[in-house]
Structure formats: structure tokens, C-alpha cells
């Protein structure tokens, strides 16, 4: 019998040591938890809903929404509105045609072989090196029109405009 009482006391001590709910830290954690989620009453879905005016306005009709009759009686009737003053016609200002888009190519130089064929060396803003002979396309946009010692002439295929790129030292 004594062993049974000792065993029961030992079990109670063990349970008390493992019960962390009574510690201050556990109580603080329990207080910090959000409140339980309220139960949603699904029976409300079957009830009839009251009529509303929301969603009955035609979005493609201009003007304000229809007013109630009570509101229409309260508003004062406006006096005769004056005729609008005609505005003089506005002359269109001359706008020069837009310039060509910025050119993101630099001319690094040219190379000539023994047969006299010149090849222009160009570099894009992304540090890609492009090469081409006179009449060839570079950057899928420009045709090399002329290769000189200090410049290269490029023709924009889309607009037909020509541009000269000088040789840069850097």
C-alpha cells in the first residue's frame, strides 16, 4: 500500500513538473494569442435579402445617378442659364517632326585587308561588338552606308534617315 501511495505521489510530481500551462511564460503566450475565430452562421445564406439600388446603374450612360423624388423637390429650379460664350478657334502650333531615336552605337574604328575590303567595328551600349562591311545590316536596324577613316555613316532602315558616327578616343 505504501508503494502505491509513493507511486501516486511520484506521478503527481511528474505531472506537475511537465505542466507548463501554469508558468508565467505560458500565461503570457496564451494572452498574446489572437481570439478564437467566430463561428459563421451558414443558415443566413438561405434567408431572403432586402432589395438594394446597388448595381442597377448603367455604366455606359453619362450623367449622375437617378435621384429620389424627395430630393428632386428640395432642389431649387435653376434660372435660365446664359448662353455660352463662343471661344475663338485655336490655331495649331507648328511642331517639328520628332528627331531620330537615340543611337546607342559607338564607332571604334575600321579594319582593311589586302584586297581593300573595309570592315567597320561598332560597340553597343551593352558592350557588344558589331562588325560589318559597306551595305551590310548591323543591329537589325542600321545599314552601313559609308566607312571612313574617322567616321561611319549609318542609314536607319525603318525611317531612311542617315547618321554619321564619329570615331571616339575612349
Q: Who's near 168: CB < 8 A, 6+ residues apart?
A: 106, 107, 108
Let me know if 50 is exposed, middle or buried by CB neighbors in 10 A (0-12, 13-18, 19+): exposed
Q: What is the pLDDT of residue 63?
A: 64
Domain positions in the chain: 105-166
Q: Which residues of 136-169 are buried (b: 16+ CB within 10 A; e: fewer)?
A: eebeeebbbeebeeeebbbbeeeeeeeeebeeee
pLDDT, average across residues 51-74: 66
Interatomic CA distance for residues 87 and 19, integer angstroms: 87
What is the model's pTM? Answer: 0.41
pLDDT confidence band for 135 (50 / 70 / 90) = very high
Higher confidence at residue 73 or residue 94? 94
What pLDDT is stored for residue 19 in this prediction?
58
CB atoms within 10 A of CB 17: 8
- How do residues 82-118 score in pLDDT, each as one tens digit? 677 777 776 766 677 776 667 788 999 999 888 888 9
Per cent of the chain over pLDDT 90 is 24
Amino acid at each position: 500500500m505504501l508503494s502505491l501511495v509513493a507511486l501516486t505521489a511520484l506521478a503527481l510530481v511528474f505531472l506537475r513538473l511537465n505542466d507548463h500551462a501554469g508558468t508565467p511564460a505560458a500565461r503570457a503566450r496564451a494572452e498574446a494569442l489572437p481570439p478564437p475565430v467566430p463561428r459563421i452562421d451558414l443558415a443566413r445564406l438561405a434567408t431572403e435579402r432586402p432589395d438594394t439600388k446597388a448595381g442597377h446603374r448603367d455604366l455606359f450612360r453619362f450623367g449622375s445617378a437617378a435621384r429620389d423624388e424627395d430630393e428632386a423637390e428640395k432642389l431649387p429650379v435653376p434660372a435660365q442659364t446664359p448662353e455660352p460664350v463662343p471661344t475663338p478657334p485655336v490655331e495649331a502650333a507648328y511642331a517639328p517632326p520628332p528627331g531620330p531615336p537615340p543611337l546607342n552605337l559607338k564607332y571604334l574604328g575600321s579594319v582593311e585587308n589586302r584586297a581593300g575590303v573595309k570592315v567597320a567595328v561598332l560597340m553597343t551600349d551593352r558592350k557588344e561588338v558589331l562588325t560589318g562591311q559597306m551595305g551590310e545590316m548591323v543591329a537589325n536596324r542600321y545599314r552601313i552606308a559609308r566607312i571612313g577613316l574617322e567616321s561611319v555613316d549609318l542609314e536607319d532602315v525603318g525611317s531612311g534617315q542617315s547618321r554619321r558616327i564619329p570615331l571616339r578616343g575612349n
